[in-house]
Structure 1
């Protein structure tokens, strides 16, 4: 992911936000805010045949404590027009490869239970459900649960 991808990345993020089942966020951040928190070495885009961004993946550290240096939280977003074509799977596979090469041992995320496509994608990629945080926060006027998923690397000790 390079700065020239920023408008498309943020537009895809906003499309996911607008569907109401991807995140608690209500608007995509500015590029500066996005850039400030996402780890630069683990930001990926998938390009379609025309060179347009079809999806993206990125991670943030879960903590600044050194004991959690190998644990990240990730996001994967696919443009609605590119869904069902393996974009999410390709991004998640590449993200796993990237993070394992850097010694990251756990990738985690929280997914709304209604986002069944994302839950299935993560299951196929080797993530397991850790639990459900019930009524963790209000989103657009209603309480929402979040399913916690994680993937522990089999190759990073």
Structure 2
């Protein structure tokens, strides 16, 4: 699937994007409010963990990666077959240009086409830009998991968000 919007091209995330995707991931990690992770994984681990039909990149007119979105299964139990957890990362120089929103739209389209009814994620409450982006894309706050994990020696809260598909019954 390829979408075009405002000189941004959304296409499937493949090994050809690995270097840039992992660099953007590391930039988000380094900012300190994106994830509990402390280092981006190697490509083989990233590739194995992410669902192939639900990972996309945003490319500029020169083919440079501006951001990415990817989903993982939340459980192998059949009751959760329609639920995925996602991550979305945008390069700092590409923020506030609609990249994150376009990536979320692509993820929503691919998951709904596959019969997935819930996309969820956990966001640090300090990451207000991500919370605002997700709200614009139809996600809602479920609640806050207080002091759920330690990050660089400090307890961190995580805001649980989800988008329930209005099309999948």
TM-score class normalised by the smaller sequence: over 0.9
**4+ aligned runs moved over 3 Å, structure 1:** none
Q: Could you tell me which of 146, 151, 156 is aligned with 1:134?
A: 146
Measure, in 1, the Cα distance between the counterparts of 2:50 and 2:100. Answer: 18
SS of 2:121's equivalent? strand
For 1:52-104, what per-residue CA distance to the aligned partner results, in whole angstroms no more than 9, with x for missing partners?
00000000000000110000000000000100100000000110011000000
Instruction: Please say if 1:81 is aligned against 2:96.
Output: no
Q: Could you tell me which of 103, 124, 127 is aligned with 2:136?
A: 124
State the TM-score, normalizing by the size of structure 2.
0.92
Give the superposed CA RMSD: 0.5
Q: Could you tell me which of 34, 47, 51 is aligned with 2:59?
A: 47
Q: Could you tell me which of 157, 162, 165 is aligned with 1:145?
A: 157
Cα drift, residue 115 of structure 1: 0.3
Cα drift, residue 49 of structure 1: 1.8
